[in-house]
Amino acid sequence: MQYYTDINSYQGLEKTAVTLGKFDSLHRGHQRLVKSIQSYAQKKNVKSVVFAFDINKETLLTNQERRNHLETQVDCMIQCPFTKEIREMEAEAFIEKVLVEKLHASYIVVGTDFHFGHRKRGNVEMLARYAEKYHYQLDVLNKELYQGREISSTYVRAALAEGDVELANLLLGYPYHMSGVVEHGKRLGRTLGFPTMNIIPADRKIVPRYGVYTCKIWIEGEVFTGIGNVGMRPTVTEEKRVLLEVFVFEYDGDAYGKNITVEFCAFERPEKKFDSIEEMKRQVDLDIAFGKAYFQE
């Protein structure tokens, strides 16, 4: 997959099938858009292009995670910063200058609520009006639904805020996850009999409700099970820093400095401040038992 972080760097001359949006989660609705341009690429011999607006806000997927997801699915991804130039470009100019002259779009695939251009004046009706003039075909796909409700990034965020990662995973079509390099901590867990791997969430990455979860942990291509606590560890520190700590079952290697990925499976309990380290250890023992029973089932 070709990857660009600036629309002006794209110099392709081929006809394309393009889908556009924020793609801040690549949920099941987004995946339907991607599958549509994949189909055009295969059947019409055009290049499949995902054009993602990077609005620089909290996100469910980092830019690198989004790139990893799409790596084998499309020919090209353009991660377009929401610059003043893009933000203030009139909708008609965006169609002409970006979609037609730059991307050579033959097929444009968007959702029903897609808006673009200065003050969001562009919409699917405008795209339809210009289709004949600029010789592209427009496909407007209805929203994917789950139990009668439209799947959206807002829906996913709400599920994560409640700790309902099982619902979030259903909406996404893949496990919600966080990745990072394992850093050295205070080694308190090791002295208490449950050594943890600690990672700091990526900038702008949305974390689920603070608490304890059952998790799957990917380390150097191998998957393990365990439990993880995401939050601020109020029992052992006054630092106001969000951290993900995972205790990995049946792993005795040295993970320091390694990049790991933690997938959230199910919520067990909210994070709390214990009155003592001993009380915390008793609860962690229960958490470990809960996690092992969860994966045995």
Please state the domain extents for the chain: 2-146, 175-295
**Closest C-alpha to 208, from 168, 248, 256:** 168
Name 222's bridge partners.
219
- CA 104/CA 7 separation, integer angstroms: 13
Q: How many helices (H) and strands (E) does the chain have?
A: 9, 14
- Class assignment of domain 175-295? mainly beta
The residue assigned the tokens 């709390």 is 272
pLDDT at 193: 65
Q: Which CATH number fits domain 2-146: 3.30.365.10, 3.90.1150.10, 3.40.50.620, 2.40.110.10?
A: 3.40.50.620
Ranges in the chain, pLDDT < 70 = 185-193, 236-238
pLDDT at 206: 97
Q: What is the pTM (predicted TM-score) of this model?
A: 0.93
The residue assigned the tokens 């972080």 is 5
pLDDT at 195: 85
Residue ranges of alpha helices (H) inside 135-276 are 153-161, 165-172, 188-192
- CA 40/CA 256 separation, integer angstroms: 45
pLDDT at 295: 97
pLDDT at 297: 85
SS3 95: helix
pLDDT at 190: 60
pLDDT at 188: 61
SS3 259: strand
**Closest C-alpha to 77, from 42, 103, 111:** 103
Name 181's bridge partners.
259
Name 263's bridge partners.
177, 216
**Closest C-alpha to 290, from 231, 182, 211, 219:** 211
Find out whether 175 and 263 touch, Cβ atoms under 8 Å: yes
pLDDT at 238: 65
pLDDT at 241: 85
Find out whether 244 and 178 touch, Cβ atoms under 8 Å: yes
The residue assigned the tokens 């969000």 is 242
